[in-house]
Structure 1
Amino acid sequence: MSKNNFPKLHNATWPGIVGKGDHEPIISLDELLEKTAHANVDGVKFDGIDLGLFSAHVKLDPTDENVNWLVDKVGRYDLEIGTLVAPIWSPDGGSAMGTQADRDRFVAVVQKASEFGYKLRKQGIRTNNVIRIDSATSVGEWAKNPLENTKIIAETFRRACDVAATYGERLAAEGEICWGGMQSWRTMLEMLEMVDRDNMGFQADMSHTFLYLLGYNEPKDRILKTDFQWEDRAELERGLQFLTDKLRPWTIDFHVAQNDGTVFGSGSHDKTGRHCLPTDPNGKLDIVKDAGYWLRDENGNPNKVFDHICWDGCMFPNEVMHKQETWNSILETMIKVRNAHGWSV
């Protein structure tokens, strides 16, 4: 463990669920914890996990029994818990721009996640107070009436923020092209400004936000020039600088990831930025350098906003996730990111 080095290094549990269930079985929480805990690069290990509160892994009901069960399970691997994901698109949740009943369920799920998160912090195993959400609606549905639907989502997010605040929690809106009202840098920024809550922020994933540059699902908001070629690193860096200048001030949660410039979906998950292994030869990001656009301030200094950073490899094939060397390679990349942009205390 690396308790005096920041940001701490976390792995995500939801890639064992997201995109699974149709063609591949869900990967158990136990296996994900084992792979995370056993990863080791020259004595450096993962510090913790970011946790999806999905029924395949965790009972969302925030009873003391359920909380204690999770604390014992994660604690025995000497891991801490960071950001949580509220399962707002589970059967118990609902769309943030759906019917009144849908929106009420959305807020109710956030409330349960917030209480769960608060109790984990009280137990001392959880290190931050961020819960990730999205609009739980498609871009196509949102596009039927963008102005009105944006207002509805923002109002639902405000209600969710107010509930989360009673437990001392912050909400991070996931910047991903598959979520209506959140599918481009501009729609995301407009949403955040409209919500206007102190405990509302942005969750940046290097793979998902990368697609903002290319204007997928919102061509008018494309950042890179239309004749952009992948060999043009200067133009790519200009785009990353523009994107991060807009959204970095809102960012409270950060995922290290790789992307090959394409979209991908599996199972029931809509197409979004494809996550690639850090060693993928088709990867378009210089992971270590490009992480700095999010992790350093306008003066080039580590911004120290995040107590931890997380790796996200959603929709990796199970055969890849079952291999311990996959997680060692990912940990090695995370260490390089921290060495380049982190700090010690």
Structure 2
Amino acid sequence: MELAIVITVVVVALAFDYTNGFHDAANAIATSVSTRALTPRIALTLAAVMNFVGALLGQKVAHTVADTLDISADDAKNALVIVLASLLGAIVWNLVTWYFGLPSSSTHALIGGLVGAALAAGPDLAVVRWHTIIDKVIIPMVISPIVGFCLAFLVMLAIMWIFRNRPAAKVNRGFRGMQTVSAAALALGHGLQDAQKTMGVIFLALVSSGHADESDGLPLWVIVCAAGAISLGTYSGGWRIMRTLGRKIIHLDPPRGFSAEAVGASVLYTTAYVWQAPISTTHTITSAIMGAGATKRISAVRWGVAGSIVTAWVLTFPAAGLAAAAAYEVLRLVFGV
């Protein structure tokens, strides 16, 4: 029975990784597609390849995710049910926000699911490491969108000043070409961040059930499977969310698309390698798009749409947590823990 639950956890984790890919595919390519720098299919192919490569470049974020909970190893079956419930809660919220075209955070859905399932299980079975949640999740969750907005605004102002005497058509043509590089960099950062979160959850399940040792690091098969799942999900696309990011917030031109993507990629790399923080790629690129777009004029940003997105951001952590808690109660009965 225990081995069957382990296999189920791995399969569901990879399914979450797949939904993460199609849910967040728009993060890397929406700006390039909306500015016609890349066709949708080429953009998706580029994003899928770079997502796979990025997933192979580090494990620090994965270990941070695995450290969010302290699950008792005395009851391996219950430990696996907690992880499985957290994944189901995150998947439910991903599908809900995808259906409504809202670019919410798969990262915070996953972390919220872990916390919700752990709280439902109780302190005797799982303890939430709140210092990790606050330092590595909550604080970066607040800071990263602010940094993304401000940096994209400043970078775009610099671009406008540097190219102020150049013909607009020529500038747009040049930045349209540069967006291939910035989109690839953003997709690489997305793989570096988001695929590692799934690796961390699988590793947490393996360690809690005694199928892996924490000191040995992530098994190679976990890394490759997570990279492949998010890459396949990315290639299938997320057209609903792409329309929100690429058109509904603001109509982007190539220089603004480039500045948003370049800033978003920089923030993702910095948080992954310096702070090992699992930040939201969705929050980062959306706020960068708003910052770059605000240089046109503040009213150019459709703040009503932005408000709906922010509402989804705020609801993600508790909503995924509640869904995971409900899933835990059902799974507890199903598996008899």
TM-score bracket for the superposition, by shorter chain length = under 0.3
- TM-score normalised according to structure 2 size: 0.23
The answer to which structure has the higher strand fraction is 1
Q: Bigger relative contact order, structure 1 or 2, given CA contacts below 8 A and separation 6+? A: 2
